[in-house]
């Protein structure tokens, strides 16, 4: 299975989801069965490392955040089984790239898996213009949602 996380610039939310989800999949012994990547709807950060504040928060949680930002492509929508947007704006941008209904069905919101998202905005807040507190809150949301997403993927991969 292939899972792609997408935010606006691919330096905060989507690389966070990528590393958090990778750890949760590894904890379930499924790392060889799940390919995980991230991208941004915009290309202005392409080639850049993740935001330093995200790296610091990841390190405080025992995670290593590496990689370089890239822009999502139409072929990503064909190649990945799940394309997970961080907010509704990202989702709309992804749906605009989709060429058919089968591909559109692959595009989901991360907070669809967040047990605390009921009745709230379904988007993961963008911490870019905030500080350490906003990055910590974003990590908490991503962690909750990725826990359930990993359970869902494990169930899908069960024989």
Tell me the catalytic residues: 7, 13, 126
Q: Give the contacts of 63 (CB within 8 A, at least 6 positions apart).
A: 19, 20, 23
What's the distance, CA 62 to chain centroid? 18
Residue 109 burial (CB count, 10 A): 19
> What length is written for the chain?
159
Q: How many CA atoms lie within 13 Å of 138's alpha carbon, on the beta-carbon side?
A: 28
DSSP string spanning 78-91?
HH-SEEEESSHHHH
């Amino acid at each position: 299975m292939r899972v792609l996380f997408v935010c606006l610039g691919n330096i905060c939310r989507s690389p966070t989801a990528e590393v958090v989800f990778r750890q949760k999949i590894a904890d379930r012994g499924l790392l060889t069965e799940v390919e995980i990547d991230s991208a941004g709807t915009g290309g202005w950060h392409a080639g850049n490392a993740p935001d330093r504040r995200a790296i610091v928060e990841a390190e405080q949680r025992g995670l290593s955040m590496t990689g370089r930002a890239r822009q999502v492509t139409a072929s990503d929508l064909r190649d990945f089984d799940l394309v997970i947007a961080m907010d509704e704006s990202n989702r709309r941008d992804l749906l605009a790239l989709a060429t058919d209904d089968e591909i559109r069905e692959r595009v989901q919101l991360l907070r669809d898996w967040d047990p605390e998202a009921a009745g709230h905005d379904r988007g993961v807040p963008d911490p870019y213009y905030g500080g350490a507190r906003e990055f910590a809150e974003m990590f908490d949301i991503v962690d909750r949602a990725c826990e359930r997403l990993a359970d869902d993927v494990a169930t899908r991969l069960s024989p």
